[in-house]
Amino acid sequence: MSGDVRPDSAWKRSEPRITPMAAQARRGARMKLVGVTKHFGDVVAVTGFDLEIEAGEFVSILGQSGSGKSTLLRVIAGLEQPTAGEILIDGESATSLPPEARRMGVVFQDYALFPHMSVRDNLAFPLKMRGVHGPELNQQIASIIRLMSLGGLERRRPSQLSGGQQQRVALGRAMIFNPAALLLDEPLSALDRNLREQMKTELKALHHEVGVTVIYVTHDQSEALALSDRVVVMHSGRIEAVDSPKRLYEFPANRYIASFIGDANLLDATVRTVRASSIEMDTPIGSWLVPAQNVRSSASPGDAVTIVIRPEHLHLVATGLGDGTTPSVRCSVEQILYGGSSTLYVLRSVTGGVGLQARIPTVHAGSIAVGDPVNVAIDTAQSVAIGREDAGK
């Protein structure tokens, strides 16, 4: 790599730079997927996928490896034909259209830049393929170079660029022809952690500035939660949940979502008493009240449920809070996992031997050591109850 390559921190926006290309891209497409299914022989990769995406919306498809998310993206792009179902773009069927007729800008995990071409030629390629030449070609290239802060790099080849700069070229190439939507397949996974965090911020700023419809495929929940208007969680080729990042994390619909999105304490419980504003639950570590609006299952006395409580809602205290609503559980410390700004404590309750996790801001962690006894106050107002029938997911 050339010694004068600019650091990726050079990609900053002090003020919006809306170019004609960017302004036009604000008319992102509305998309609708109806019963989209994809088989590879006897293998079912995607089945019965239904989703509506608003114009200009940023939607992430989040799932583990093998969940079908990249296959779905290829079907949307036209790189794979669905076995069944329909894809609508702005109300018109695109199911049988070839990729070039769908006006989808695609960025792959490895960026797929042409190694023998300069930055400028990589950006020009999709325009030339669409018959754009002369002054219009030069204007569009200049516009995207300004938007992506690639000035001064036009003659370099991909091997002379940093990872972040290559990503910006790939994004610019995908956006330069005013796509109906931008499809991103694990675009940050090839970057190191620090650059990945930086590029998340810049990608969110770019979407805010340009407003194009984005479908973003990732296995990284932190990316999906940070970037998206909505997150679609896929599991075994199906939609497990669709919701805003905040609701997915704070109010998981089932046990799979609670376990997959962030860390969670999961406690089997039984409904004791149903009240107007709260439900009293019996758990292995005592009884507590779950707010009625946080109960996502049937709640009659005797019903079996699972309580979800995030580690940050458990607090290490000298004694219980004593207000009668926040239970205090005596525990021993089994592990301490330092995480910089926060520290995770792996605990075991004295009563019932239940495993718990508490995440504490490191500045408040004190001098607790492995083996120490601690009192754990549980902020039960932040707990959620889900149906026990979800335990097998």
Q: Locate all alpha helices (DSSP H) within the chain, ordered by sequence.
A: 20-25, 69-77, 119-129, 134-147, 163-175, 193-210, 221-227, 245-250, 255-260
**Residue 167 contacts residue 200 (beta carbons within 8 Å):** no
> What is the length of the chain?
393
Comparing 59-68, 276-285, 324-333, 350-359, which segment has the lowest mean pLDDT? 324-333
**Choice between 16 and 73, residue whose per-residue pLDDT is larger:** 73
Band (pLDDT 50/70/90 cuts) for residue 8 is very low
How far, in Å, are 46, 77, 102, 116, 179 from residue 99 at the CA level? 19, 6, 5, 24, 12
| Per-residue buried b or exposed e for 153-174, using 16+ beta carbons within 10 Å of the residue's own CB | beebebebbbbbbbbbbbbbbb
Question: Over the stretch 220-229, which tens digit does the pLDDT of each residue have?
Answer: 999 999 999 9
Of residues 372, 220, 231, 249, the one with CA closest to residue 310: 249
How far apart, in Å, are the Cα atoms of 269 and each of 154, 299, 385? 62, 11, 9
Q: How far is residue 2's CA from residue 118's CA, in Å, rounded to a whole number? A: 14
Is residue 231 within 8 A of residue 60, CB to CB? The reply is yes
Count of Cβ atoms closer than 10 Å to residue 151 Cβ: 11
Q: Shortest CA distance to 223 belongs to which of 240, 207, 239?
A: 207
Contact 235, 393 (CB under 8 A): yes
pLDDT at 62 over 70: yes
Residue 31's pLDDT is 96
The CA-atom distances, in angstroms, between 241 and each of 233, 259, 352 are 5, 13, 33
**DSSP assignment of 140-180:** HHHHHHHHTT-TT-TT--GGGS-HHHHHHHHHHHHHTT--S
**The residue to which tokens 């998981």 are assigned:** 252
Say yes or no to pLDDT of 305 above 80: yes
Confidence (pLDDT) at 208: 87
What is the DSSP track for 70-96? HHHHHHHHTSS--SEEEEEETTEE-TT
Checking DSSP bridges between strand 314-317 and strand 304-309, what pairing results, if any? unpaired
Q: Which residue has the tokens 């495929």?
A: 217
310, 365, 379 from 319: Cα distances, Å: 21, 16, 14
Residue 380 has pLDDT above 80, yes or no: yes
* Whole-number pLDDT of residue 392: 39
Choose among 262, 264, 265: nearest CA to 221. 262
* Ordered domains of the chain (ranges, CATH): 8-250 (3.40.50.300), 255-392 (2.40.50.140)
**Per-residue pLDDT for 156 more than 90?**
yes
Mean pLDDT for the stretch of residues 374-384: 94
What pLDDT, on a 0 to 100 scale, did the predictor assign at position 318?
A: 64
Give per-residue pLDDT as tens, 233-265.
Answer: 999 999 999 999 999 999 999 999 999 999 999
What's residue 16's pLDDT? Answer: 33
Please give the full DSSP string across 192-213, using - where no structure is assigned. -HHHHHHHHHHHHHHHHHH--E
How far apart (Å, rounded) are the C-alpha atoms in residues 213 and 29? Answer: 6
Segment of 24-28, 181-185, 315-319, 366-370 carrying the highest mean pLDDT: 181-185
Q: 57 and 87 in contact (C-beta within 8 Å)? A: no
**Residue 75 is encoded by which pair of tokens?**
């079907």
**269 φ, ψ to 5°?**
-145, 170
Q: Are 68 and 216 in contact (CB under 8 A)?
A: no
Tell me what pLDDT residue 54 has.
96
Could you tell me the pLDDT band of residue 365, with boundaries at 50, 70 and 90? confident
pLDDT cut 90: percent of the chain above it: 70
Has residue 360 got a pLDDT over 50?
A: yes
What does the pLDDT read at residue 61? 97
Whole-number average pLDDT of the chain: 87
Q: 295 pLDDT exceeds 60?
A: yes
Residue 19 has pLDDT above 50, yes or no: no
| Out of 171-175, 198-202, 316-320, 342-346, least confident range | 316-320
DSSP string, 304-323: EEEEEE-GGGEEEESS---S
Measured CA to CA in angstroms, residue 51 lies from 31, 88, 123, 213, 361 at distances of 8, 10, 32, 14, 38
348 pairs with which residues across the strands?
332, 355
